[in-house]
Structure 1
Amino acid sequence: MQNFTYYSPTKYIFGKESHIKVGEEIKRINKNNVLIVYPEIFESNGLIASIEESLKKEELKYSLFNKVEPNPTSDLVYQGINIAKSSKTDFILAIGGGSSIDLAKSIAIGVEYDGDFWDFYCGKEIKEAIDVGVILTIASSGSESSPNAIITNKKTFEKIAIESDLIRPVFSIMNPELTLTLNKFQTASGIIDIFTHCLERYFTNTESVQLSDRLLEGIMKTLVEIGPMAIQNSKDLSSRENIMWAGTMAHNNIIGCDREQDWNSHHLEHVLSAKYNCNHGAGMAVIFPAWMQYVVSRHGLDKFVQFANRVFKVEINDENYLETANIGIEKFKKFIKKINMPINFKELGINDYDIDELVSLNNLNGKKTGGFYSMNEDDIREIYKIASINNLDNI
């Protein structure tokens, strides 16, 4: 186990109808002028009206920014910063999932900065940000509890992440009822996103992490068990409660702070979603099995065997560990297909692609990645090749 300092100041408010008390929560932290960041569709289902009512009850000022789109881009951040500055915003409320929250966090770092917010995505240290709160409507990204945000530069197609404790939400309101209207694809995409957040932490070179291994396995096993139930029955509140809390647990880093983490698969997928605007969870469903199939025979076989045995109940063949590990990967792919997620480029909707271009967009420039298995451009190329044609029979 590695040394660590764990910090998570976010207040979680979980339960039915919890979102209608958002005005009280903002008032409690002495904020007065709110920018609400959300997708326009929420105006038609009554959600925004209920939020406005809660804010008015506490006599809070607010402005609306309803331009949230999947895979938010830099131009939206600039728009939001201009609105926040002109309205003298002192608090940003994100309503939605990762796209809303990451957009809100990016606006928050730009409000008090005279330069270009993209400077922070190019490595400049974040020293100031206005507070962000969240009303979560989809269990997926874990951004409601993390110090991270991801934005795509609309000019360069770079999809880059930042990290700072200054952009951790001060509170996250989590009402599972708000997820009951999600369609099957959105639900499944969220499940895969949560699952792969676990995998990025699970595959580690850090030793003596038995406790967090078991916690990660517990989340993954829960998703395998209840994920299909949530998709088959959209009104299954019990399943959605557990999925929502799993999303937070998987990415607030309480079960990753003790270990080296990987994140190479996420980087590979960020190139796909920046280039082709594909859904992130669906992209991870394509990339992660391909990464596993490539790495399993090259590094960390014992961890792959443990994953197969503990998460997917594969009996260990002591005479052929590689076979055991490969069966586990195959079962993971079958789980992905069971919830109607893609496992190759064609199923993801990408028919015209250039693998060499995708490799170059990773910006390795002859260097190697870090993580569980350090990769060069040739490794990345082979993973994309597997992902482009993957199926249930070719491991």
Structure 2
Amino acid sequence: MLNFNYSIPTKIFFGKGQVDVLEEQIKDYGTKVLLTYGGGSIKKNGIYDRVTDILNQNNIEFYELSGIEPNPDIKSVREGVKICKDNNVDLILAIGGGSTIDCSKAIAAGYYYDGDPWDLVSKKAPVTNALPLGVVLTMSATGSEMNSGAVISNRETKQKLHIMHSNLMPKFSILDPTYTFTLPKEQTAAGIADIMSHTFESYFTLNDGAYLQDRFAEAILKTCIKYGKIAYDEAENYEAKANIMWAAPNAINGLVLCGKNAIWSVHGIAQELTAYYGLTHGVALAILTPVWMEYVLDDERVDKFAEYGVNVWGIDPNKDKYEIAKEAIEKTSEFFTSIGLPKSLREVGIGEENLEKMAQAAIDDKGGVIGNFKPLYYDDVLEILRRAL
């Protein structure tokens, strides 16, 4: 096991009615808040009214940034930064899922920067500080409610880049599973694929001796498999939604990554599908993951896939290890299909027209190679995209 440092300073308030802590949590940081949210579903399901009632009752002044897009665009970040600077905001309160939270993190960093916030995302300038951020979560997927990273798109340049800094960690996050009851089924499914992919990216490593972390990862995967179809089919099943909601942040808050050397592969390819086509991130991951698994399976990596098959899917350990590995990959694909996710890029209207551009873009800012479970170069990424068609 490798050396590691680990700290998760975010306060988590989990369960029904935990929004009641909002007033006391906000007042630890000030009395002027920017509310950020997406397309307005929180106004239909009552979450917006509950939050704003709390703010009004406690004389907390608030401003609003609505309409944050899936795969948030830098334009929304710029707008949010302006609102915060113009009104001397003390804290940002993100009400939504990963897109809203990620946008809010970039706004929080941009508040302390005099230039274009895209400079921070593109690493032209460092993040030096950030406004405090609180979260009221409405979708289980990215785990952004309990980590220090964010992904921001620039639709003009067809880029989707990652920003990370310890100051971007939310100060508190309210996780009420009932707030996911009104989520469309397709978003529930995409979120589950995202959680599983985060876990896979840390799980599939070679000979690092991080036994405990791999058992954590397998528990998260088994939780998604056990409750994913139930959460998809039964919108108001509290047990299923609660387990999925808690799996999401633990897949990407560093817990399963501690002591391991994991450089992600599939996410880097999936981000290009989003940048070029606006494809939902979790959908892209569901299509690419089984293809990637099949592509990287070889003598050096078969033992890890067999371990996955036995420990996660309960496949007979006495079978040939390649048989176990291939069965595990097939079961992974079948699970995604069972929750309504597509198996190919053509199913979502994507053809061959941009495959070469996307393959090149996936490796451009990574030294020409992506991932380290099996390093992938341009030809490898292109072949995975072609096989995903």
SS of residue matched to 1:144: helix
How far apart are 1:186 and its partner, in Å?
1.1
Aligned to 1:256: 257
Aligned to 1:183: 184
Give runs of aligned pairs for residues 350-369 of structure 1, distance below 5 A. 350-351=350-351, 353-364=353-364, 367-369=368-370
Q: How far apart are the structure 1 equivalents of 2:282 and 2:256?
A: 21
Q: 8 Å contact 1:121–1:160 — kept in the other structure?
A: yes
Q: 8 Å contact 2:363–2:370 — kept in the other structure?
A: no
- The residue type paired with residue 312 of structure 1 is W
Aligned to 1:384: 385
Residues 298 and 361 (structure 1), Cα distance of their counterparts in 2 relative to 1, 3 Å cut: farther
Aligned to 2:285: 284
Please tell me whether residue 147 in structure 1 is matched to residue 148 in structure 2: yes
How far apart are 1:358 and its partner, in Å?
1.6
How far apart are 1:352 and its partner, in Å?
5.9
Which is further off, 140-149 or 297-306? 297-306
Aligned to 1:342: 342
Aligned to 2:37: 38
Q: 8 Å contact 2:208–2:261 — kept in the other structure?
A: no
Aligned to 1:24: 24
Give runs of aligned pairs for residues 1-395 of structure 1, distance below 5 A. 1-27=1-27, 29-39=28-38, 40-123=40-123, 124-297=125-298, 299-317=300-318, 320-351=320-351, 353-364=353-364, 367-388=368-389
- CA distances 1:273-305 after superposition (whole Å, capped 9, x unpaired): 111001111110011111111001264211111
Aligned to 1:392: none
- The residue type paired with residue 112 of structure 1 is Y
Give structure 2 stretches of 5+ with no counterpart.
none
Considering only aligned residues, what root-mean-square deviation do their CA atoms show, in Å? 1.5
Aligned to 1:391: none
Which is further off, 342-351 or 210-219? 342-351
- CA distances 1:336-378 after superposition (whole Å, capped 9, x unpaired): 1111111210223324633212212224388223421111101
How far apart are 1:237 and its partner, in Å?
0.7
Residues 104 and 5 (structure 1), Cα distance of their counterparts in 2 relative to 1, 3 Å cut: same
How far apart are 1:84 and its partner, in Å?
1.1
Q: How far apart are the structure 1 equivalents of 2:335 and 2:117?
A: 40
Q: 8 Å contact 1:131–1:169 — kept in the other structure?
A: yes
Normalization by structure 1: what TM-score? 0.94
- CA distances 1:155-182 after superposition (whole Å, capped 9, x unpaired): 2111001111110000000011101111
Q: How many residues get paired? A: 386
Q: 8 Å contact 2:23–2:54 — kept in the other structure?
A: yes
Normalization by structure 2: what TM-score? 0.96
- The residue type paired with residue 346 of structure 1 is R
- The residue type paired with residue 189 of structure 2 is A
Q: How far apart are the structure 1 equivalents of 2:385 and 2:191?
A: 22
Residues 363 and 219 (structure 1), Cα distance of their counterparts in 2 relative to 1, 3 Å cut: closer
SS of residue matched to 1:89: coil
- The residue type paired with residue 307 of structure 2 is Q
- The residue type paired with residue 276 of structure 1 is Y
Q: How far apart are the structure 2 equivalents of 1:220 and 1:369?
A: 23
Which is further off, 309-318 or 107-116? 309-318
SS of residue matched to 1:278: coil
Q: How far apart are the structure 1 equivalents of 2:92 and 2:375?
A: 38
Q: How far apart are the structure 1 equivalents of 2:258 and 2:354?
A: 37
Q: 8 Å contact 2:139–2:191 — kept in the other structure?
A: yes
- The residue type paired with residue 184 of structure 1 is K
- The residue type paired with residue 357 of structure 1 is K
How far apart are 1:257 and its partner, in Å?
1.8
- The residue type paired with residue 89 of structure 1 is V
Q: How far apart are the structure 1 equivalents of 2:160 and 2:75?
A: 13
- CA distances 1:305-330 after superposition (whole Å, capped 9, x unpaired): 10111111122355x32222111100
Give structure 1 stretches of 5+ with no counterpart.
389-395
Q: How far apart are the structure 2 equivalents of 1:385 and 1:331?
A: 22
Q: How far apart are the structure 1 equivalents of 2:270 and 2:318?
A: 32
How far apart are 1:139 and its partner, in Å?
0.6
Q: How far apart are the structure 2 equivalents of 1:354 and 1:106?
A: 29
- CA distances 1:188-228 after superposition (whole Å, capped 9, x unpaired): 11111111111000011252111111111011011111111
Which is further off, 149-158 or 320-329? 320-329
